[in-house]
Amino acid sequence: MSKHKYNSPTSLITRDISKIADMVNGNLYEAVVIISKRARQISAKLKEELAQKLEEFSSGIDTLEEVHENREQIEISKYYERLPKPTTIATDEFLEGKLVFYRAENEEE
């Protein structure tokens, strides 16, 4: 299994919302949108990786008689369950200044 570069905590921690808001000129809602978009990207990437790894274990026909426990499959699933949540990773990236984001300018008619 590949090691991910995420060094975020796996449990929830209290965040100072003023620090988060200060990163985008005091607009907390803009910060939440940026963090949530990044969290969706991370989630999609992790889901795709997990699906690719579990695909190796799938058979063409799945019936109740053919379903059996596979230790490797269980370990892979547990590994991904223990990773930090995508929102925690995205929040850490945002606070560390690792995210690049652009504002769409309002077009006046």
pTM: 0.76
Q: Is 41 a residue whose pLDDT tops 90?
A: yes
Q: Over the stretch 45-58, which tens digit does the pLDDT of each residue have? A: 999 999 888 887 76
Q: Is 30 a residue whose pLDDT tops 50?
A: yes
Higher pLDDT, 58 or 68: 58
* Residue 12, burial from CB neighbour count under 10 angstroms (0-12, 13-18, 19+): exposed
- Going from the C-alpha of 5 to that of each of 51, 64, 77, 83, the distances in angstroms are 19, 38, 18, 10
Q: Is 11 a residue whose pLDDT tops 80?
A: no
Domain assignments of the chain as residue spans, ordered by start? 17-95
Q: Over the stretch 12-28, which tens digit does the pLDDT of each residue have? A: 788 899 999 999 999 99
